[in-house]
Amino acid sequence: MDRPVRRLLSIDDLTDDDLRSIVERGVHFASGAGAGERPLADCVAGVYFQKTSTRTRTAFSAGALRLGAHIVTYGPADLQTNTGETVEDTGRVMARMLDVLVARISGPDEDFHALSGGGRLPVVNAMGAVEHPTQALTDLTTLRQRFGRVEGLRVLYVGEGNNTANALALALARYPGCHLELRTPPGYGLDAGARERALATAARTGTRVVERHDMAGLPPDFDAVYTTRWQTTGFTKPDEDWRERFEPFRVTRGLWRTSPKAVFLHDLPAHRGEEVDADVLDGPASIAFEQAANKMYSAMAVLEWCRLGPRGGTA
């Protein structure tokens, strides 16, 4: 019997049950309860990165190996797309040899679908121009691990409305009673389509998703404060004065005056003294490096879902 093809190009590819299952399985793997499980023992996973990556590439490579899979890795100069072969033809070949492909591409997001060989190969978006869905799943896994729940959490996101922010808005909106406050620089807000879909989902779940382009009048009592680097990997800013626009959105200790119990999240890599002060990133509230470690456990949950579908079991 043919396996169903499950892809993760966007958070929108997941049902509510899929999303919760992946988060719970991430927590399960992080707890050590899944040690020794080899659900992907018959699987060959391709890992294709056209852009730099430390955490995501390592997470999916190590995670696949820990689940018993074999991996085939490709760098930006390894495939015949560099000599003129189409992405579609490359996908048609890979679909006949691989069981799943994890990809970070430099082309348009439509290339993720092209790599699926017409929908035959499960493809995981390991960061595209609009969304970074596996980062959002890592973030929810980290929040679930720290607080024992995601429902009802209050999260403040400060900085560019980039692919990480888009995916976070789409994912957190699935959980009832949350409040996601996004403070993004003027001209650097959420993708319009992602914002519209997140707001529609939030209306269904009773969650609040609010975006403003200033730092005035912040509500109190957030559970988590989140930022990302100002220069998103693989992308450049069109405006010469962009740093002036971003400067008011630096994360400093001052944000903890009204949210003294908040944890600090960062998807890394971090530039101390730019998007975040060193005493925040390296301070007692920071769980950014726990979050980074959870990328592998979340990657394991994603790979398992691609092959086997939603799974039970948590820590």
Task: Give every CB contact of residue 12 below 8 A, 6+ residues apart in sequence.
Answer: 170, 197
- Minimal CA–CA distance to 211: which of 175, 159, 263? 159
Number of domains in the chain: 2
Cα dihedral angle (192, 134, 4, 76), rounded to 10 degrees? Answer: 100
pLDDT at residue 1 is higher than 70: no
What is the distance between the alpha carbons of residues 247 and 156, in angstroms, rounded to a whole number?
Answer: 17
85 within a domain of the structure (yes/no): yes
The DSSP 8-state label assigned to residue 249 in this structure reads: G
The CATH number of whichever domain residue 19 belongs to comes to: 3.40.50.1370
- Same structural domain for residues 97 and 47? yes
Order across the sheet with 263-266: list the strands: 208-212, 179-183, 154-158, 224-227, 263-266
Supply the range of the domain harboring residue 261.
133-292
Segment 205-258, tens digit of pLDDT: 999 999 999 999 999 999 999 999 998 776 788 888 899 999 999 999 999 999
Q: What percent of the chain has pLDDT over 90?
A: 90
Tokens in use for 45? 């996973």
- Same structural domain for residues 107 and 185? no
Per the prediction, the chain carries an average pLDDT of 95
What is the distance between the alpha carbons of residues 4 and 309, in angstroms, rounded to a whole number?
Answer: 9
- Same structural domain for residues 126 and 171? no
Task: Give every CB contact of residue 22 below 8 A, 6+ residues apart in sequence.
Answer: 14, 137, 298, 301, 302, 305, 310
Assess contact for 120 and 5: CB atoms under 8 A: yes
Assess contact for 291 and 59: CB atoms under 8 A: no
1 within a domain of the structure (yes/no): no
- Same structural domain for residues 149 and 279? yes
- Same structural domain for residues 278 and 210? yes
- Same structural domain for residues 283 and 224? yes
pLDDT for position 80: 97
pLDDT for position 313: 54
Task: Give every CB contact of residue 195 below 8 A, 6+ residues apart in sequence.
Answer: 166, 169, 189, 209, 211
pLDDT for position 311: 80
58 within a domain of the structure (yes/no): yes
- Same structural domain for residues 221 and 267? yes
6 within a domain of the structure (yes/no): no
Segment 90-113, tens digit of pLDDT: 999 999 999 999 999 998 999 999
Cα dihedral angle (138, 265, 105, 53), rounded to 10 degrees? Answer: -100
- Same structural domain for residues 118 and 75? yes
Tokens in use for 172? 């957190």
Which residues are paired to 286 by β-bridges? 264
- Same structural domain for residues 75 and 146? no
272 within a domain of the structure (yes/no): yes
- Same structural domain for residues 165 and 102? no
- Same structural domain for residues 95 and 175? no
4 within a domain of the structure (yes/no): no
What is the distance between the alpha carbons of residues 71 and 188, in angstroms, rounded to a whole number?
Answer: 37
Assess contact for 187 and 245: CB atoms under 8 A: yes
Q: How many other C-beta atoms lie within 10 A of the C-beta of residue 260?
A: 9
- Same structural domain for residues 67 and 120? yes
Segment 156-180, tens digit of pLDDT: 999 999 999 999 999 999 999 999 9
pLDDT for position 34: 85
Q: What's the pTM?
A: 0.95
31 within a domain of the structure (yes/no): yes
246 within a domain of the structure (yes/no): yes
